[in-house]
Structure 1
Amino acid sequence: MSSSKSKTGRSSAQNIETSGTRKVHSRHTWKLESISHGKGQPVSRKAIQHVQDEVAKRKDKFHFSKQEIESLCTIFRHLTKSDRIDRPRFRDVLHNTFDMTDDILMDRVFKAFDRDNDGQVSMLEWVVGLNTYLRGTLDEKIAFAFNCYSLKGEKHITREEIFQLLKSSVLKQAGDEDLDESIKELVEITLKKMDKDHDNRLGDNDFSQSVKEDPLLLSCFGQVFANARRKAEFERVVEHMSEEVVFGQQFTQEQLAARKAEFERVVEHMSEEVVFGQQFTQEQLAAVFNY
């Protein structure tokens, strides 16, 4: 296959930087006071117990403690002020909290959380989804990412889907005039590297084997999971809240004020202006696909 060349002599595929789709999303500020003092609609003990009971029934391994589950329920209620998060609000959460910017993949992550396919994410679906999204094993994250990348919800990802995903997540560089041709080159590179059974598409086994050989390929078609910094910030929020949610634990006004200040410091970092697009240098992209 011939490669189009830029003025620098590199192939056009090598001149691509990947980036999230650049959209402006609304921003929302969290305040600990409304959580700590029950303003708005606090989470009932019954609702939390229901989530904990349902989690206990699940066969898949759970990675959050009871206290952390309660913290996630509290965050959920603070975000939505009801018992469901709709698609636009969920997209805001993905963008503002986890730095996601790709519209296609934000919708696919929403779909992965919305297990009953009713167009909303319940409190239980929120907790179960975050179990994999934040703390899943490699196998769990591979399955989650594959489901997001398989735009038709099938057991394989077609050439056309790979093209669509890459086109949604690349940023055209100056001097590379034929973006579609460059993306087609990347599609061929991807299939050559990952299509283990040579059927001209990526099955779930192809994807799993490829990621286990090279974990960087978990995000080869765009950002699905939170980046390390945002994940750590969210985990710190959960950790701090979980210290307060042991039933019957009492705090002085001074202790509560100190915790409030720490929480809001963490949230301030979470609310920093997002630099749109997860970008990779040419060298990083070349290293992933070995071209």
Structure 2
Amino acid sequence: MGNHNSNSLKHMKDKEIHELASHTYFTDEEVRKWHHHFFKDCPNGRLKKETFQAIYRHVFPQGDPTKFAGFVFNVFDKDLDGTIRFDEFLMALSITARGNVDEKLDWAFSLYDIDRDGHISRGEMVQIVSAIYEMIGPDPAVAGITAEAKANQIFDNMDFNKDGLLTIDEFRGGAKKDPWIVHALTMDPTSKPGYRT
């Protein structure tokens, strides 16, 4: 997305705003509003993991979203520098808030693929599902089934070729058949109306 210098992004030109809008599902005006809020809360142009996790704790007070928020942070942080720039934030937010099902599933695949090797292992599935359980806290919908059992159930239903690894195609196909996964895709607090960094 061009120049990532936080000082230049602090005062974006119309051309830069339009470029971001053209790569997202946001209008120029929405980019301006998100930009204003982002820099109001992150004056140096960088959102730190601790701040991101605090946002999740505010939205999910009934549980402990720290681990899940950390995994989500790692997906937003495309350049792996330990912070989220405005353009990284906006691009990910665009997909999680307004992307189509396949875009959201591709994004979710990158969330579950913790080691970024292009596959989801059973262990990675267990880590993410456990983090979701911790985040949502007590939930009657999953009462009686442990996070590990739920993760194994999901994994077994998705691993069509039974090789112990999920490809993106297996993940997409299995997720579309599993309402729990589809529901989990909507648990992004940054996509809620009125959310600010």
1:85 is the counterpart of 2:47: yes
Match among 148, 151, 163 for residue 199 of structure 1:
163
- Residue in structure 2 matched with residue 49 of structure 1 by the alignment: 14
Q: Relative contact order, CA 8 A, sep 6+: which one is greater?
A: 1
Could you tell me the TM-score, scaled by structure 2's length? 0.74
Match among 169, 192, 195 for residue 231 of structure 1:
192
Structure 2: which amino acid aligns with 1:231? K
Give the fraction of aligned pairs with identical amino acids, expressed as a percent: 22
More helix by share: 2
- Residue in structure 1 matched with residue 173 of structure 2 by the alignment: 209
Could you tell me the TM-score, scaled by structure 1's length? 0.52
Task: Please give the residue correspondences for 1:67-78 in structure 2 after superposition, counting only pairs within 5 Å.
Answer: 67-78=29-40
Uncovered stretches (5+) of structure 2, i.e. residues with no partner: 1-8, 139-143
**Post-superposition CA distance 1:102-145 (Å, at most 9, x none):** 22221121111111221111122222121112111111111111
- Residue in structure 2 matched with residue 36 of structure 1 by the alignment: none
Alpha-carbon distance change, 51 to 169 in structure 1, aligned in 2, over 3 angstroms: same
- Residue in structure 1 matched with residue 123 of structure 2 by the alignment: 160
Task: Please give the residue correspondences for 1:1-291 in structure 2 after superposition, counting only pairs within 5 Å.
Answer: 46-49=11-14, 51-55=16-20, 58=23, 62-96=24-58, 101-170=64-133, 182-219=146-183, 224-226=187-189, 231-234=192-195
Q: How big is the shift at 1:218?
A: 3.1
What stretches of structure 1 move > 6 A for 4+ residues in a row?
none
Report the Cα distance in structure 1 between the residues aligned to 2:130 and 2:36, rounded to whole angstroms. Answer: 37
Higher Cα radius of gyration: 1
Uncovered stretches (5+) of structure 1, i.e. residues with no partner: 1-42, 174-178, 238-291
Determine helix, strand or coil for the equivalent of 2:193. helix
Task: Please tell me whether the aligned partners of residues 196 and 206 of structure 1 are also in contact (alpha carbons under 8 angstroms).
Answer: yes
Report the Cα distance in structure 2 between the residues aligned to 1:56 and 1:187, rounded to whole angstroms. Answer: 37
Alpha-carbon distance change, 114 to 185 in structure 1, aligned in 2, over 3 angstroms: closer
Structure 1: which amino acid aligns with 2:44? S
Number of matched pairs: 180
- Residue in structure 1 matched with residue 4 of structure 2 by the alignment: none
CA RMSD of aligned residues (A): 3.2
